Structure 1
Amino acid sequence: MGMSVIISSANPDEAEQILKLQYLGYQSEAELYGDWTIDPLTQTLDSLREELADRHVLVARLGDEVVGTVRGWVDEEGVGQIGRLVVHPRMQRHGLGRRLLAALEERLAGEGVTGYELFTGHRSLGNLRLYQRLGYRETAVREVTRKLSIVTLNKPLAASLAA
Structure 2
Amino acid sequence: MVIPALEESFEAAVRGVDEWTTYVAVAGGRIVGSTRGRPAGDGTVWDVGRVMVAPDLQGRGLGRHLLALVEDAAPDEVTSYELRTGALSVDNIRMYKKAGYRLQGPAPGPPGAVVMTKPRR
TM class by shorter chain equals: 0.7 to 0.9
- Could you say which residue in structure 2 is the equivalent of 1:55? 20
Matched, 1:151 2:114: yes
User: What corresponds to 1:120 in structure 2?
Assistant: 85
Contact persistence 2:80–2:118 (CA under 8 A): yes
Q: What CA deviation, in whole Å up to 9, does each residue of 1:106-125 have, x standing for no partner? A: 011x3421110011122111
Q: Which has the higher helix share?
A: 1
Report the TM-score, using the length of structure 2 for normalisation. Answer: 0.87
- Partner AA of 1:79 in structure 2: V
Task: After the TM superposition, list the runs of 4 or more consecutive aligned residues in structure 1 that deviate by more than 2 angstroms.
Answer: 37-42, 140-145
TM-score by length of 1: 0.66
Q: Report the CA distance between 1:47 and its aligned residue.
A: 2.0
Number of aligned residue pairs: give it.
118
Q: Considering Cα pairs closer than 8 Å and 6+ residues apart, tell me whether 1 or 2 has the greater RCO.
A: 2
In 1, Cα distance between the equivalents of 2:15 and 2:105?
29
Greater C-alpha Rg = 1
Amino acid of the residue matched to residue 84 of structure 1? R
Alignment of 1:77-88 (within 5 A): 77=42, 78-88=44-54
Q: In the TM superposition, what is the alpha-carbon distance from 1:138 to its structure 2 partner?
A: 1.2
Cα RMSD of the aligned pairs, angstroms, is: 1.8
Partner of 1:103: 69
